[in-house]
Amino acid sequence: MGRVDGKVAFITGAARGQGRSHAIRLAEEGADIIAVDLCEQIATVEYPMATPEDLAETVKEVEALDRRIVAKQADVRDQAALKAVLDEGVAQLGGVDIVLANAGIAPMGAEDEDRIASWRDVVDVNLTGVWNTVEVAVPRLVEQGRGGAIVLTSSTAGLKGIGGESGGGLGYTASKHGVVGLMRAYATNLAQHNIRVNSVHPTGVNTPMVVNEVMQRFLEQDPSVAGAMANLLPVELVEPVDISNAILWLVSDEARYVTGVTLPVDAGFTTK
């Protein structure tokens, strides 16, 4: 018996990285999946973003577990498009119980940066995109009357003043802090409906958003940032499944009275 048997999870940024890992881990524990990803490049992001082929691979891996998945390309910055995907997923899968606002970009380390454009894009995706994701799901969760669990993906940069001096880095840190505010406000507003809202705060994770030439250049150019990236536990990067396991626990009945919590999965990074 799975820990989220019969539940439906709405996951953004599901084509690869942490989002794909969440889809697979929740499917292993019995959930069906509504998967969203842009699968296109954003101009201020220099590292390669996910592709339609990546999203197809997520579909294949979830279906290999005999779970159902509705996967669509959509932009978290477009609330109407997100609502359309959720509506279709709900119609096919019979509701929604779990919401994972995971989609995000990290446009620090770009060469010849357009500071204003980088700031705008990262705040639009990482903060407004998270807001859009929750906004489209909340009326459904409330109407269904069966509670729910929402996890917003923040970062250690949502708890500490790291991220560097670029427009993209400042926007990243500001947006990830903003996610905490959203989490606390939604947790307060939605508790009466038995809907729990928490955030997770990963350190560096072994995904294409972090393991790429642009991010490596950013880390090398600023030794103070690179030094600040060191974890307490002897591990350089954690794996996507480490975040998935924390989220699985948060959305399961095992955490039925856990809400309003900022949960670091950071190998001790924020304790330093």
Partner 1 sequence: MGRVEGLVFLASDEARYITGVPLPVDAGAVIK
**What residues are labeled active site?**
172
Q: Does 151 bind partner 1 (CB under 8 A)?
A: no
CA angle 247, 199, 107 (to 5 degrees): 100
Give 25 or 140: the residue with its C-beta nearer to partner 1.
25
3-state secondary structure of 232: coil
Closest approach of partner 1 to the CB of residue 271, in Å: 3
- DSSP annotation of 109: T
Number of residues lying near partner 1 (CB under 8 A): 31
Give 60 or 249: the residue with its C-beta nearer to partner 1.
249
3-state secondary structure of 81: helix
Residues 247-266 that bind partner 1 (CB under 8 A): 248-249, 254-261, 263-266
Instruction: Please name which of 155, 146, 178, 181 lies closest in space to residue 256, comparing C-alpha atoms.
Output: 146
Residues 1-60 that bind partner 1 (CB under 8 A): none
Residues 176-235 that bind partner 1 (CB under 8 A): 184, 187-188, 191, 203, 231-233, 235
Q: What H or E segment, with its residue span, contains residue 193?
A: none
Phi and psi at 15, nearest 5°, equal -70, -30
Closest approach of partner 1 to the CB of residue 177, in Å: 16
Closest approach of partner 1 to the CB of residue 47, in Å: 24
Give 56 or 249: the residue with its C-beta nearer to partner 1.
249
Sign, CA torsion 53/54/59/62: positive
- Please tell me the distance from the alpha carbon of residue 4 to that of residue 11, in angstroms, as a whole number: 15
Q: How many CB atoms lie within 10 A of CB 135?
A: 14
Closest approach of partner 1 to the CB of residue 232, in Å: 7
Binding region for partner 1 (CB under 8 A): 184, 187-188, 191, 203, 231-233, 235, 238, 242, 245-246, 248-249, 254-261, 263-268, 270-271
